[in-house]
Amino acid sequence: MDEGQIKHLLRRFQNGDIDEKGFVESLKTLPFEDLSFAHIDHHRALRQGWPETIFCQGKTTEHIVHIAERILANQNLLLATRISAEAATQLLDRFPGLVHNPIARTVASKVPENQPQKPAQVALLTAGTSDMPVAEEAAETLTVLSIPNAKIYDVGVAGIHRLFDKMEQLQRVDYIIVAAGMEGALASVVGGLVGMPVVAVPTSVGYGASFQGMAALLAMLNSCAAGVSVVNIDNGFGAACVVARHVYHNLK
């Protein structure tokens, strides 16, 4: 339940649309709901602007479905990340209105077409096509948060002219998320060419000496382009949330 939903609830109470008992019932799950195996943070949307996300890796399908049911019952948008195909199928069977992105490994609420968009534009860049799953996870997260985003994939430094071809488009956005594996050089190149915030996501893509993304992570952390933010390996969701914190804070 976010700030807007609480205000709507108060107006309904003031107008007599719901009685005191109904008002109290609606607030019962604040700040969290105890399911014995999970404590759902329904208060998160009020604190941060977006609801708790289900990180599905390691969870049983039964638990995922139960948590999703309670999140949706509290009128929160749903985002489930790192979800298996089997769990996604069962979640969609239970809640047909959800959207599955198999590349991103996400299941999310379908955002209404009339949902107001946040006044920000994000570009999602990948060095290669193999980095797409991480960028897609970021894109799905931004979409649920009503933050417009554009995808520019496969523009890595091995063919740097591909990036230069997109510079006019990049100069029109407010934030850039860069997902890159191998040596992770794309984030530094982009960071040196633009003035807006850049969030770098190292991916676990690469040959043996890339050490499942450690090489890209260290390269991004040691970027000579000042001010590039770096999140954990393959953490597209985290990169989107870095941008969301900026966007939501600027709206206050």
pLDDT in tens, 175-227: 999 999 999 999 999 999 999 999 999 999 999 999 999 999 999 999 999 99
Q: What's the confidence (pLDDT) of residue 16?
A: 80
**pLDDT tens string 91-130:** 999 999 899 999 999 999 988 888 888 889 999 999 999 9
Q: What's the confidence (pLDDT) of residue 252?
A: 72
Give mean pLDDT, residues 229-237.
97
Residues 6+ apart with CB under 8 A from 97: 109, 110
In whole angstroms, what is the distance from residue 216 CA to residue 136 CA?
A: 19
In whole angstroms, what is the distance from residue 142 CA to residue 89 CA?
A: 23
**pLDDT tens string 159-182:** 999 999 999 999 999 999 999 999
**pLDDT tens string 16-49:** 877 877 766 666 556 766 677 777 777 777 777 7
> Where do we find the tokens 């690469």?
206
Write down the mean pLDDT value for the chain: 89
> Where do we find the tokens 């953490």?
235
In whole angstroms, what is the distance from residue 132 CA to residue 155 CA?
A: 12
Question: Please, which contacts does 193-200 make with residues 24 or more away whose CB atoms are closer than 8 Å?
Answer: 193/167, 194/170, 197/227, 197/229, 197/243, 197/246, 198/225, 198/227, 198/228, 198/229, 199/175, 199/228, 199/229, 199/230, 199/231, 199/239, 199/242, 199/243, 200/228, 200/229, 200/230, 200/231, 200/239
Q: What's the confidence (pLDDT) of residue 32?
A: 64
User: Is 3.40.50.1970 the CATH number for 122-250?
Assistant: yes
How many C-beta atoms surround the C-beta of residue 4 within 10 A?
Answer: 10
Q: Name the strand (E) or helix (H) holding 184.
A: none
In whole angstroms, what is the distance from residue 40 CA to residue 140 CA?
A: 21
Which among 204, 209, 207 is positioned nearest to 235, based on CA atoms? Answer: 204
Residues 6+ apart with CB under 8 A from 12: 18, 23
**Angle 139-55-252 from CA coordinates, rounded to 5°:** 55
Give mean pLDDT, residues 122-141.
97
Terminus-to-terminus CA distance in the chain, angstroms?
Answer: 18
Please, where in the chain does CATH 3.40.50.1970 lie?
A: 122-250
pTM given for the model: 0.85
* Exposure string for 79-98, b = 16+ CB within 10 A, e = fewer: bbbbbeeebbebbeeeeeeb
Pairing of strands 79-81, 106-109: antiparallel
Which among 129, 170, 171, 2 is positioned nearest to 74, based on CA atoms? Answer: 2
How many C-beta atoms surround the C-beta of residue 119 within 10 A?
Answer: 11
Q: What's the confidence (pLDDT) of residue 119?
A: 87
